[in-house]
Structure 1
């Protein structure tokens, strides 16, 4: 009789090793020292077993041991992960934008914060779009941009004030924010809603929604936007906002980021 192969489970040596890395990461994320004792306790494992696994990872350059005998991920993990994120923003981001544009029949973009402006790096225009030219490489003042507010989604009030410390809030459209306090008030409303709404803040007649994109560090790295005329989008705000937030959550999943949407329209 041919022996039945043992199933591949988390109890395999590889699975146990990955569990140790996951426990180490959780310790760091929660502000606890990732010592052998702490990791073994969190996994319900023998300390000698966890110690051997960490020693192997240390020898391979995957983790580093501090003077206090606690462990941390080596910087190589972060560099590799950031390279993957940059690639996936382009490859997966374009797929997400095209699906969103096809669904809503509106122009979609991915933009990121650059100083006190937002820079568009990806776009998808629906068939029949009357938009002239490309927005890629085009910068917008962040204080009147949907992506500006979405990109600062996880920033504190002090961080937002630092971003705009030298910015003049000049009028771009009928509803441009007039100050940092005005910007923060609108951002608070966006957070409660689950996506940003920019109604003729950047240009007269321009209407848009946006939602933040998170990466594996639990940080916002940019925003997905849906942009069109006010006449076209305003009656569909809830539909466009929910679809935009879902698209941003999907791209975030591809980047190892959080998978949350909190829509309240």
Structure 2
């Protein structure tokens, strides 16, 4: 079942004509907010989105009227109502409701967090997470975005993309060295991705964050398409690599297999 997905179709001129610019710009305003910019003035929103102040104001007032944005008279910020947009995606993922009990069993068995992520553009986004009681140095939650090239989840997902897509990804992505162990050479990364594709899992050792290692496997639908990746992460000091291979990997593979078998 370990077969790459087909490349997405390029946008056609007709598709460009059908694009609703006002919707795209409204979403750009929402996406401008984040951990680094939880609240912004009108001027800051305009600068972050490349809009004029007048245009940014119209979108902000519309979002405020809909309940997605709040204002104290100077600063604008998102409201909890925005979570409804994310929940619409989560509730539409039929596999998550099926995978959840299997992921919970994995987390209980190994006493570490079990997560699921999907590829969104050139990054991975966490779409499910069963946290462990242990404290981790990396603060992860649903919606967290991370680079694909230096994460076990990301390498599994990259291994299921067409080779030409991976080449383009490596050409356009800034391959920053997040730790002394991060692989940033494109040829070495291609070799790592090929290895993941061949053996069906990825083990990343302190490349994303010092002291953290993780292991991931693909999650397939009933047609054999990779729809997500599952992983377990843990502190390197308490998680020997051999334990990851002997205990964590079989647990993840079982969870992924049982999820696939239970899918409609």
Question: Same fold per TM (> 0.5)?
Answer: yes
Instruction: Classify the secondary structure of the residue corresponding to 1:91.
Output: helix
Q: Distance in 2 between the 1:145 and 1:255 partners?
A: 26
TM-score calculated relative to the size of structure 1 = 0.60
User: CA offset at residue 235 of structure 1?
Assistant: 3.9
Instruction: Classify the secondary structure of the residue corresponding to 2:224.
Output: coil
Backbone CA RMSD of aligned residues: 2.3
Match of 1:248 among 245, 256, 259: 256
Distance 1:184 1:252, change over 3 A: farther
* 1:176 match: 182
User: CA offset at residue 198 of structure 1?
Assistant: 0.5
Instruction: Classify the secondary structure of the residue corresponding to 1:143.
Output: coil
User: CA offset at residue 86 of structure 1?
Assistant: 4.0
Distance 1:251 1:153, change over 3 A: farther
TM-score calculated relative to the size of structure 2 = 0.60
Instruction: Classify the secondary structure of the residue corresponding to 1:165.
Output: helix
Q: Does structure 2 conserve the Cα–Cα contact (< 8 Å) formed by 1:113 and 1:151?
A: yes
Q: Distance in 1 between the 2:186 and 2:222 partners?
A: 29
CA displacement 1:99-158 (0-9 Å, x = unmatched): 1101111111000001111000111123x3213754211111001011111112322321
* 2:244 match: 237
* 2:136 match: 131
* 1:115 match: 121
* 1:202 match: 208
Q: Distance in 2 between the 1:251 and 1:113 partners?
A: 19
Structure 1 residue 218 corresponds to structure 2 residue 218: no
Structure 2 matches for 1:157-196, cutoff 5 A? 157-196=163-202
Q: Does structure 2 conserve the Cα–Cα contact (< 8 Å) formed by 1:111 and 1:118?
A: yes
Q: How many residues align?
A: 173
Structure 1 unaligned blocks of 5 or more: 1-82, 257-265
Larger Rg: 1
* 2:109 match: 103
Q: Distance in 1 between the 2:222 and 2:242 partners?
A: 35
Structure 1 residue 92 corresponds to structure 2 residue 116: no
Q: Distance in 2 between the 1:250 and 1:165 partners?
A: 36
